Amino acid sequence: MNSHIHNRRGFLKKSALTTLAGMVGTEIVFAKNMPPHHVPLAFDEGLAGKHPDMVVLSDKPWNVETPPHLLDDAITPIERMFIRNNGLVPEEKIDPSTWTLTIKGESVKQTKTYKISDLKAKFKTYTYQLVLECGGNGRSGYVPQTSGNQWDQGAVSCAEWTGVRLKDILNDVGLKDDAVYIGYYGKDLHPSRDPSKVVISRGVPIKKAMEDETLIAWSLNGKDLPLMHGFPLRLVVGGWPASVSGKWLHTIAVRNKEHDGAKMDGHSYRVPRQAVMPGEKLAETPENFRIIESMPVKSLITFPKTGAMIDVGKSLSLRGHAWAGDLAVKDVFTSIDYGATWQKTTLQTPKNRLAWQQWAAQVQFPQKGYYEVWVRAVDSQGVSQPMVIPAWNPGGYLNNACHRIAVKVV
C-alpha cells in the first residue's frame, strides 16, 4: 500500500506529488490535470507490490493472474500470487490489535470471540505450504465460454501460511454433536457497497475444517498478510477451491446443515452430477449440481517460458510443480510428441500434505523444428490429468487439461 501517496479511497495527497514523481523516476506531465480521486495506474493499490508481468483480468473487483513461468519458485512469493476478489477490499482502517474472530452458530456450545493476540497466546502456531487454486482456474479453455473470470492457467499459488489450527479453536469453543459444516464471513464489501449484502460466505464440511492443515492464518511467507490476501486474518484450506479460504475473516459459523451463505447455491462452485452437453442449460438444483470439494490433479511447466529457443543437439532442462487436491501426486510425465509417448520425470515429495510437488526433466529433441512439450500428472489413486479439456460445465470449473509450452529447436 502506498498510503503515503494516496489514502484507501484513492485520494491523491497533494503533498505526495513530488514523492510520486520520484517513484515514477520522472516528472508527471499534466499532474495538475489529475482528478482528485484518480489513482495513478502505476501505483494502483491492487497491484502494489505485484510483479509487473501479472495479468489483470479486472480491477473492480481485482482479479489478477500469474503467467505460469512466474510460478517457478517452490514457495510462491507474494508479488507473484494471483488475486481473486468477489467484492471490494475493506475500506475501513484495519487495526489488527482490535480485530476479532467470533465462532458462533447453531452447533457451538457457546459463542466465543478471540482477538488475534488471544489466538497467538492460547493455541500452538503451525506453518504449512498450501496450494490455493481458484475453482475456475483454466476456465478460458471451455467452449462455449462460460461466465466468470476467463482465467488461463495462473489462478494458483503455493505459499507458506502461518497461524493456528481451526480445530484447536473449535475444540476450545466446544461443538455440539450435530455440527456438520462451517461457513466464513469476511469484511469485504459487496460491489454495490450495500452493507446488508454479503459478497461471499462459503465453507467446508466439519471433517475438512478439523484437518491439521486447516489454518486461521495471520502470516504469509513470514510477513503479515498483505491487504489483498486477507489482512489481518484469513481462513486457509488447502487442496479445495480457494473460494473456501475466506479473507478478512471476522466470523466462523458452525452449522447443523450445509452452509447456506452467499455463493454456496446455484451453480456457484458446483458442477453437474451427470455430464451435460456443452452449452446445455440445467436447472440449478442440488439434485443436479454437487459442491466442488477436493480439486483434481494438475501440473504446470514453470521453466522454460513458452516460446523458448534451444540449440539443436542440446538437451532442455524442464521443471514445474504438480498437485492433486487432498491427495498426493504419484507421477509426472512429459511428452514432446502430442501425447504419443511419455517420459517419467523426477518428482519430489511434498514439504507437507497439501503442498505442491516439484518435478524436473531433461528432454532431447530428435531434430530442428517446432515442438510442444506437454506435462501430465497422475494422483496417488492413479487418476491422470486429461490431455483434452475435461467435461464442460456451466460454471467453467475444474479444467485440469495438460499444460503445454512451445519450444523451437534451431
- Could you say which of 6, 50, 69, 229 contacts ligand MTE (CB under 6 A)? 229
Q: Which stretch binds ligand MTE (CB under 6 A): 13-21, 240-248, 305-313, 377-385?
A: 240-248
Residues forming beta bridges with residue 127, ordered by sequence position: 162
The least distance separating ligand MTE from the CB of residue 242, rounded to whole angstroms, comes to: 3
What residues numbered 120-179 form the site for Mo ion, per CB under 5 A?
A: 134
Q: Is 70 in the site for ligand MTE (CB under 6 A)?
A: no
Q: What is the DSSP letter of 209?
A: H
- Could you say which of 2, 146, 214, 245 contacts ligand MTE (CB under 6 A)? 245
- Could you say which of 6, 50, 84, 321 contacts Mo ion (CB under 5 A)? 84
Q: Is 334 in the site for ligand MTE (CB under 6 A)?
A: no
Tell me the residue number closest to Mo ion, measured at CB: 134
Residue among 212, 221, 250, 255 nearest 234 (CA): 250
Q: Contact at 8 Å (CB) between 61 and 87?
A: yes
Residues in binding contact with ligand MTE, number by CB under 6 A? 21
Residue closer to ligand MTE, measured from CB, 304 or 325: 325
Q: Which three cell numbers stand for residue 117?
A: 493476540
Q: Say which residues have a Cβ less than 8 Å from residue 30's Cβ, sequence separation at least 6.
A: none
Q: Which three cell numbers stand for residue 84?
A: 481473486
Q: Is 132 in the site for ligand MTE (CB under 6 A)?
A: yes
Three-state secondary-structure class, residue 264: coil
Residue closer to ligand MTE, measured from CB, 186 or 325: 186
Q: Alpha-carbon distance 366 to 363, whole Å?
A: 10
Q: Is 134 in the site for ligand MTE (CB under 6 A)?
A: yes
- Could you say which of 16, 70, 81, 116 contacts ligand MTE (CB under 6 A)? 81
Three-state secondary-structure class, residue 22: helix
Q: Is 291 in the site for Mo ion (CB under 5 A)?
A: no
Q: Is 139 in the site for ligand MTE (CB under 6 A)?
A: no
Three-state secondary-structure class, residue 194: coil
Q: Is 107 exposed, middle or buried (0-12, 13-18, 19+ CB in 10 A)?
A: buried
Residue closer to ligand MTE, measured from CB, 87 or 395: 87
Residue among 301, 295, 370, 309 nearest 338 (CA): 370
Q: Which does residue 264 bind out of ligand MTE, Mo ion, none, counting CB within 5 to 8 angstroms by kind? A: none
Query: Which run of H or E residues covers position 113?
Result: strand 112-115
Contact residues: ligand MTE, CB under 6 A: 81-87, 132, 134, 157, 186, 188, 199-200, 229, 242-243, 245-248
